Amino acid sequence: MIPLQTVVRVAPSVCRHFAQLRDVTTASTVVSVPAPVKISPAENLTHGVLITFGVRIYPVWVLTRL
């Protein structure tokens, strides 16, 4: 197992190394704009119901069938 003091001492230099490899220090600009294609309220509601089912109801159904 690696001693905690070694991790604390080495971690900053490792993070700097990977930051330089990925070039994450450069600034990037993100512009948020409205969606180019509008969807109907009915389709929006359908997607909301399906996502709710997938995230909340389906796992409960699976657990009750175990």
CA 42 to chain centre: 27
Report how far apart the first and last C-alpha atoms of the chain are (Å, whole number).
38
- Dihedral angle over CA of 6, 10, 11, 13, nearest 10: 170
- Grade residue 21 by pLDDT with cuts at 50, 70 and 90: low
| pLDDT score of 27 more than 70 | no
pLDDT of residue 12: 79
CB within 8 Å of 19: residues ≥ 6 apart? 25
| pLDDT score of 24 more than 60 | no
Length of the chain counted residue by residue:
66
pLDDT of residue 46: 97
